[in-house]
Structure 1
Amino acid sequence: MTEASTAAARRGTGGVQSIERAFGLLETLADAGGTLGLSQLAQESGLPLPTIHRLLRTLVDLGYLRQEASRQYVLGPRLIRLGEASSHMLSVWARPHLSRLVDELGESANLAMLDGDEIVYVAQAQSRQSMRMFTEVGRRVLPHCTAVGKAIMAGMPAADVREILKRTGMPHHTDTTITDPDVFASELATAAERGYAVDEGEQEAGVRCVAVVVPDAPARLAISVSGPAGRMTDTLVDRAVPLLLEAGRALSADLR
């Protein structure tokens, strides 16, 4: 059974099959980076070619897909509006969980997502302390130098991680930035084993961050707490991890 048909089966028998199949094709394209040919879509979805042709033609007519001169299908511009609205709602759903982390720990809390090869911050609750982090919503950074990036990539196939690192080049930001793919792979193995990732001033000197992945989310998401290294002690990190894990599970439940 393919991933798309498995997802449809999980949704039960009460839905409209053509809608389930259409969204399954959009999700297959998204998982593949936004571009696929007809034969690849057929292989990934397991649907008959006449069915795929009919669904793709409808999605193209509606602007949710576009067919290139190469005959490949790409995600269309009308999805941008849906994505922007969805991103706003994600921030709304995340806000109470992030605020609770700030109340418990006193440091800024963030929700971030892997978007292509970059990490984008989609929600934040700021610390009320005078000296705090100002990572604004919408900021984009590379994943190799952030705790949220490490938390997300620790659960990804090693080959996919290597491809991202090859494309981004792992640029150096501070004296502690990891720029060696093998060292980074070891860092991800450690993060996967203990269930959380730490950024030791690798994006910004003097800033420490701890993050966990949001499990079973519809996108690659992670929640973090960050602050000045002097306040983000090992003791605070130890306190933060179970609270972050709880927040991640709660947000995941909200997104189902």
Structure 2
Amino acid sequence: MAAKASGGVQSVERVFELLELITEAGGNVTLSELSSSTDLPLPTIHRLLRTLVSLGYIRQLPSRRYALGPRLIRLGEGATKQLGALAQPQLKSLVDQLGETANMAVLDDDMVIYIAQVPSPHSMRMFTEVGRRAHTHDTGVGKALLAQLDDDVVRGIIARQGMPRPTNKSIGTIEELLADLKLIRERGYSIDEEEQELGVRCFAMAVPNSPTPTAISVSGPVQRVDLAFSERAIPVLRRAAQVISDELNRN
């Protein structure tokens, strides 16, 4: 294997380039689509794909397209657990300072998946199971995640997953959602105004420069999570998101 001047191993870098290209394409591509997306020679792409198929990291579908393979699931689950563990001290700090439940979530297959939580000490509190999947348009973390994406990507996600309305306050059209995302980008945080569950309000914020779209949130009953709460919560959320970002990007 040829080593690059940067100290990296060229063939390993090429493998990860292909995996990232397949992921960005939605999980499956043709050989010609891969070839048009990279400067790698076609024989090199084909050789690397054959190796990845033999190891189970890539599958070749009956249509001859290449798709991400099942062995990546195990790697992804392990990485997700580590991400949640890394964020746990900051989630606990949020609860200690604000008194409400703190969550972390990532975008996975067009859905929100909660990967870490520290519950509020209050008997009446918001609770979401780690591992639970939810739609993006009606959750604070989901909207914080969508706000990191281009509008066309958001439209694609909604087209594939739909827009169910768990409450009468849930967003019901793509136009409303895109307007809300524009506001989220401007102010730097999202609000779930009883859109997932009546009586529950959530403030959420994206983790900047994270390797995958990631967000943290604090949630609780609307009686406690009010305007005064938001004025305390937003700066604390911002600091926590930055600390997590720094940890993720530390060499």
**Normalised-by-shorter TM-score class:** over 0.9
Whether 1:131 and 2:124 are equivalent positions in the alignment is yes
Match of 2:224 in 1: 231
**Cα deviation 1:74-115 (Å, max 9, x = unaligned):** 011111111111111111101011111111111010001111
**Partner residue of 1:15?**
8
Find the partner of 2:201 among 186, 208, 225.
208
Which of 201, 221, 233 matches 1:240?
233
Structure 2 unaligned regions, length at least 5 = none
CA contact (8 A) 2:216 2:237 kept: yes
**Per-residue deviation at 1:238?**
1.8
What is the CA-CA distance between 1:130 and the residue it aligns to?
Answer: 1.3
Q: Does 1:95 align with 2:88?
A: yes
1:59 shift after superposition? 0.7
2:141 to 141, 144, 148: 148
In the other structure, the counterpart of 1:110 is 103
Give the Cα–Cα distance (whole angstroms) in 1 for the partners of residues 191 and 115 of structure 2. Answer: 19
Residues of 2 paired with 1:130 and 1:224: CA distance?
19
- C-alpha displacement of 1:55: 1.0
Q: Secondary structure at the match of 1:143?
A: coil
Residue deviations 1:196-219 (CA, integer Å, cap 9, x gap): 000000000000000011111111
Question: What is the number of residues matched between the two proteins?
Answer: 246
The Cα shift of 1:12 comes to: 7.5
Question: Equivalents in 2 of 1:132, 1:76: separation in Å?
Answer: 39
Distance of 1:196 and 1:87 partners within structure 2: 23
Q: Matches of 2:96 and 2:202 in 1, distance apart? A: 17
Equivalents in 1 of 2:5, 2:197: separation in Å? 47
Q: How many Å apart are 1:116 and its aligned residue?
A: 1.5
Please tell me whether residue 86 in structure 1 is matched to residue 79 in structure 2: yes
Say yes or no: does 1:77 pair with 2:70. yes
CA deviation profile, 1:146-188 (whole Å, cap 9, x unmatched): 1111111112111111111122221111111010111111111
Q: Is 2:52 the partner of 1:59?
A: yes
Tell me how far apart the structure 1 counterparts of residues 169 and 194 of structure 2 sit (CA, whole Å): 6
**Cα RMSD after superposing both structures:** 1.3
Describe how 1:145-224 pairs up with structure 2 within 5 A: 145-224=138-217
Alignment-mate amino acid for residue 196 of structure 1: Y
Matched, 1:42 2:15: no
Q: 2 CA distance for matches of 1:251 and 1:193? A: 22
TM-score by length of 2: 0.95
Aligned-residue offset at 1:72: 0.8
Separation in 1, partners of 2:151, 2:39:
26
- How far does the alpha carbon of each residue in 1:1-38 deviate from its partner, in whole angstroms, 9 at most, with x for none? xxxxxxxxxx9811111001101111111122210111
Q: Secondary structure at the match of 2:18?
A: helix
Shift, 1:45, TM fit: 2.4
Q: Contact between 2:148 and 2:213, CA under 8 Å: does it hold in 1?
A: no
SS in 2 for 1:71: coil
Helix, strand or coil at the partner of 1:191: helix
Question: For the residues of structure 2 that align with 1:221 and 1:206, how far apart are their CA atoms?
Answer: 25
Q: Which moved more, 1:139-148 or 1:166-175?
A: 166-175
- Mark the runs of 5 or more structure 1 residues left unpaired by the alignment: 1-10
Identity of aligned residues (%): 52
* Runs of 4+ residues over 3 Å off in structure 1: none
Cα separation, 2, equivalents of 1:73 and 1:141: 28
